[in-house]
Chains A and B, each alone.
Chain A
């Protein structure tokens, strides 16, 4: 009979008023989970008041439970009547900082698995969710992927609330809006949507909510899972959402009207919408002298272009249009290439793949061996290959330039590989025409990119002085970016037009 009512309760997903039934239900739900512990408590002054707390070993802080939950429950002198205990318990007895009452089993499951303690009260059809989180997280440290020379070095860790705290501390304003949602059928991962109300683009926000509703997956472990569901141009290798591990970067982007997406369990925060120029921007640009950083941006931009085009262009010069080279250079290169068996294309592809292998190995190996191996690999293999006349020396230089410039812009390391190969293939078949064709296709593709409805590249004819000053080649046309902001060397120009219409 008990089971039957539990069954009924389960189908209706609400609690029953009987403590035993509830606890049986808990045991049923968490069958085979040995870490869910239960503790029965009775009030010492009124022994008819029975409670039971359910806690998740390892996620809870014993101190909080002992001091703030068990002790007050045991020692409370407050008179309580059955059927009306919940509110009094909340307001007068239990001294945890967050309490929520619920009668939904789903909420209880989600709360327990995150570190909350559940308090079941005999005679009440509601349970209390008490905040007792006490799990360990990684210490706040500088993210290894985004090192800078000077500036704040805080980096996100895997706990959502701590990450949010870092951001909230930097925006001491009530306009920062924070909303939670959860995704993942099995993991119920919390994500947090963050934006500054008076500057955000409302259309983008609406579009974001619309897209989030389409997510259907069983588990969300990292922000990249979310990205791949909600991004535009799903087939393009170029990123259309930004990612970062630094709170100062997130705040900077929020101030320009972007939306930040935090995912619990991942230190990587998404920012959207994302403009193409952001691939080349780094937060360091605003912390160092603008002369230096303008030059750096220039280098990054050209590094990207070189990384894509150098091998293809080399093949064009060497195999199709040799007249580009001055005679002395031509004779030198010919001399280097005599005796080399493979045509330049094959060499290029093999060397590039080899270099990528070396780079990948260098990342995965434990430090110490990694560096030595990369250097040894690159130098020795390269050198011996040249001496054995398997590879021509100019090709080594070309590959070295390509690979090193490819490291300048980490956000574009995915598209660069494919674009490079595509350009090599096109140049190898059709020479200069193939090269130009490839570049045109890439340009068209990049111009086609959108991020949440906003084109990633603005038209060159729309540049105003301020926007050119702000970002390297293109300034976003999107009105929000028009707002003066420390996107560049110049100090903030925030004016009082903050209350403008941002709909």
Chain B
């Protein structure tokens, strides 16, 4: 019990020691908010002259008060032999420390992607505990990645955030590019299932005479090297093949007189389910894509009464044919031009039949080029909006 002078002294000395420990040593990790600079996106280029990485870092500019119309962004450039080196070098011209926990985008120039591969670049972002593994990685179709981040966004003033939001909503609205978290991309790069990496591609266009960024299809990789691109339309069909489409538009040409015309019908996609299966007869691998899509007829560019059942059936038949043709074109293009399995067929086989996969995986890329893919689409038109 605490009675007596000695006990009081003891208590006092303990308290003193504790408070000294706390106060003198300081709070090692105390990082006041005014000492951090929040990063929203990073663009990575290779400096041709000295072979250093050149980083263009977009940070939130929070100096003004919020009333002046939204957050602005600031660009910080940095250079270094490795990514981490460049990041730390940036502190040479910053008072605040870069804070990566809210980073949403990494833009890699196509030059690095083609010539060196992206895995070494992404390693720091995955290893360091600050960046969140769900950020998006995109490939810049411009000359440098820097141009993407220094352009402006139409909505947001912060380009990285804008691109990320566009990507996020993409497979529900436009279905013209692939949305993939970087940790999943790393899974593909390090996985043994013959999968090929597909990343979104971004370019600059002009909007009201201002340079803005726009998402433009996807980039196809072999290993971690960039091979080429798929255009936005081709990407849409690709998304059908891998069952990642949740919305978007399909256009078809429809002509009762069987003439070649422009696309004049528009389907609005509500739901889609792609069932993928395969058959292997010891020799040849045949893959089937069963695509069931629920659509609405959103736009009819010709004069036809779509309330009649026969017309709907005709439209469906046309759609099925056109769709299969177009999808096959994309598949063939990937097989011949790129020769890498972006359709996750290898994954499918490895999960359903590991024994077969161990047989095939040796030369999978070559094997893949010769696979026969049968496409069996089916459309269900549920409504034609407000008019007949």
Direct contact between A and B in the complex (CB less than 8 angstroms)? Answer: yes
Contacts of B30 in A (CB 8 A): 319-320, 343, 345, 428-429, 431
Question: Complex: how many Å from CA A327 to CA B41?
Answer: 13
Q: Number of contacting residues on B, CB 8 A?
A: 26
18 contacts between A and B (CB under 8 A): A319-B27, A319-B30, A323-B130, A327-B38, A327-B161, A330-B38, A330-B102, A331-B60, A334-B62, A335-B66, A337-B32, A337-B33, A338-B34, A338-B63, A339-B34, A343-B30, A345-B30, A429-B27
Chain B proximity mask over A313-351: 1 for CB below 8 Å, otherwise 0: 000001110110001001111110111100111000000
For A333, list chain B residues within 8 Å (CB).
Answer: 33
Tell me the minimal C-beta distance from B319 to chain A in angstroms. 42
- Contact A319 B32, beta carbon cutoff 8 Å: yes
Residues of A within 8 A of B (CB): 235, 318-320, 322-323, 327, 330-335, 337-340, 343-345, 425, 428-431
CA distance A331 to B22 in the complex (A): 30
Report whether A323 and B132 are in contact in the complex, using a CB–CB cutoff of 8 Å.
yes
Question: Is the CB–CB distance between A334 and B33 below 8 Å?
Answer: yes
* CB within 8 Å for A429 and B38 given contacts A319-B33, A338-B63, A343-B32: no
Residues of B contacting A344 in the complex (Cβ-Cβ under 8 angstroms): 32-33
A317, chain B: closest CB distance, angstroms: 10
Question: Is A322 a contact partner of B34 (Cβ separation < 8 A)?
Answer: no
Extra inter-chain contacts (12) besides given A343-B32, A425-B22, CB under 8 Å? A318-B33, A320-B29, A322-B31, A322-B33, A322-B101, A323-B101, A323-B102, A327-B40, A334-B34, A335-B65, A337-B33, A340-B34
Q: Which chain B residues numbered 28 to 70 have a C-beta less than 8 Å away from chain A?
A: 29-34, 36, 38, 40, 60, 62-66
Question: In the complex, are the beta carbons of A327 and B102 less than 8 A apart?
Answer: yes
Q: How many Å lie between the Cα of A322 and that of B30 in the bound state?
A: 11
Of A318, A338, A429, the contact of B62 (CB 8 Å cutoff): A338
| Main DSSP-derived SS at the B contact region | loop
CA of A320 to CA of B62, assembled, Å: 19
What is the CA–CA distance of A428 and B40 in the complex, to the nearest angstrom? 27
Chain A residues within an 8 Å CB radius of B369: none
Chain B residues positioned under 8 Å from A345 (CB to CB) = 27, 30
Least distance between B193 CB and chain A CB atoms (Å)? 32
Assembled-state Cα–Cα distance A357/B18 (Å): 27
Q: How far is the CB of A379 from chain B (nearest CB, A)?
A: 21
**Nearest CB in chain B to that of A431: its residue:** B29
Q: Which residues of B contact A338 (CB under 8 A)?
A: 34, 62-63
- Measured in the bound complex, the distance between the Cα atoms of B132 and A425 in whole Å is 29
Q: Are B34 and A337 in contact (CB under 8 A)?
A: yes
Interface status of B99 (Cβ within 8 A of chain A): yes
Interface residues, chain B, with chain A CB atoms under 8 Å away: 2, 22, 27, 29-34, 36, 38, 40, 60, 62-66, 71, 99, 101-102, 104, 130, 132, 161
- A322 vs B29: C-alpha distance when bound (angstroms): 12
A343 vs chain B, min Cβ distance (A):
5
Question: How near does chain B come to A398, taking the closest CB pair, in angstroms?
Answer: 14
In the bound complex, residues from chain B placing their C-beta under 8 Å from that of A428 are 27, 30
- Contact residues of A: prevailing secondary structure: helix
Nearest-neighbour CB distance to chain A for B377, whole angstroms, equals 40
Q: Which residue of chain B lies nearest to A343 when distances are taken between CB atoms in the complex?
A: B32
A335 to B36, CA, bound (A): 12
For the complex formed, measure the closest distance between the CB of A9 and the CB atoms of chain B, giving whole angstroms.
40
Q: Which of B34, B38, B104 has the most CB of A within 10 A?
A: B34
Q: Name the residue of chain B whose CB is nearest to the CB of A341.
A: B34
CA distance A231 to B29 in the complex (A): 41
Question: Distance (Å) between the CB of B134 and the closest chain A CB?
Answer: 12
A333 to B60, CA, bound (A): 13
Task: State A425–B65 Cα separation when bound (angstroms).
Answer: 31
Q: How far is the CB of B135 from chain A (nearest CB, A)?
A: 12
Q: Which residues of A contact B62 (CB under 8 A)?
A: 331, 334-335, 338
The 5 A-B residue pairs whose C-beta atoms are closest, nearest first, are: A323-B101, A337-B33, A429-B27, A327-B102, A335-B62
Chain B residues with CB below 8 A from A337, complex form: 32-34
Asked if B38 contacts A320 (CB within 8 A), the reply is no
Residues of A contacting B36 in the complex (Cβ-Cβ under 8 angstroms)? 322, 334
CA A333 – CA B34 in complex, angstroms? 10
Q: Which of B31, B65, B71, B132 contacts A320 (CB 8 A)?
A: B31
Residues from chain B with Cβ under 8 Å of A318 in the complex: 32-33
**Chain A residues closer than 8 Å to B29, beta-carbon distance:** 320, 430-431
Residue on B with the closest CB to A428?
B27
Residue of A nearest to B18 (CB): A425
* CA distance in complex: A330, B101 (Å): 11
A430 to B71, CA, bound (A): 32
User: What residues of A have a CB within 8 angstroms of the CB of B22 in the complex?
Assistant: 425, 429
CB distance from B47 to the nearest CB of A (A): 30
Minimum CB–CB distance for B234 against chain A, Å: 33
Question: Which residues of A are found within 8 Å of B104, using beta-carbon distances?
Answer: 327
B161: min CB distance to chain A, Å:
8
B130 CB contacts on chain A under 8 angstroms: 323
How near does chain A come to B210, taking the closest CB pair, in angstroms?
Answer: 24
Residues of A within 8 A of B32 (CB): 318-319, 337, 343-344
In the bound complex, how far is the Cα of B26 from the Cα of A473, in angstroms?
A: 39
**B residues near A340, Cβ cutoff 8 Å:** 34
Question: What is the chain A residue whose CB lies nearest that of B31?
Answer: A319
Contact across chains for A334 and B31 when beta carbons are under 8 A apart: no
B1 CB, min distance to chain A CBs, angstroms:
8
Q: How far is the CB of A137 from chain B (nearest CB, A)?
A: 39
Cα A4 to Cα B101 in complex, Å, equals 94
Separation of A334 and B33 alpha carbons in the complex (Å): 6
Question: Which chain B residue shows the least CB distance to A433?
Answer: B29
Q: Which residue of chain B has the shortest Cβ distance to A342 in the bound complex? A: B32
Using CB atoms, name the residue of chain A closest to B161: A327
Shortest Cβ gap from B36 to chain A (Å): 7
Q: Bound complex: CA of A319 vs CA of B64, how far in Å?
A: 21
B residues in contact with A339, CB < 8 Å = 34
Set of chain A residues within 8 Å of B2, measured between Cβ atoms: 235
Chain A residues within 8 Å of B60, by CB: 331, 334
Q: Cβ of A320: which chain B residues have Cβ within 8 Å of it? A: 29-31
Question: How many Å from the CB of A216 to the closest CB on chain B?
Answer: 13
Q: Give Cα A345 to B26, complex, Å.
A: 12
List residues of chain A with CB within 8 A of the CB of B71: 331
Query: Within the assembled complex, what's the spacing in Å between the Cα atoms of A323 and B32?
Result: 13
Cα–Cα, bound, A320→B30 (Å) = 6
A189 to B360, CA, bound (A): 97
A433 → B minimal CB distance (Å): 10
Nearest opposing residue in chain A for B37, CB measure:
A334
CA gap between A335 and B22 in the complex, in Å: 29
Known: A331-B60, A334-B34. A322 touches B66 (CB 8 A): no
Contacts of B27 in A (CB 8 A): 319, 345, 428-430
The distance from the CB of A324 to the nearest CB of chain B, in whole angstroms, is: 9
| Residue numbers in A under 8 Å from B102 (CB-CB) | 323, 327, 330
List chain B residues, Cβ under 8 A from A319: 27, 30-33
Residue of B nearest to A235 (CB): B2
A319, closest chain B residue (CB):
B30
Q: How far is the CA of A425 from the CA of B30 in the complex (A)?
A: 12
Q: Give A426's nearest chain B residue, CB to CB.
A: B22
CA–CA, A429 and B30, complex, Å: 7
Question: From B23, which residue of chain A is reached at the shortest CB distance?
Answer: A429
Residues in chain A near residue B38, CB distance under 8 A: 327, 330-331, 334
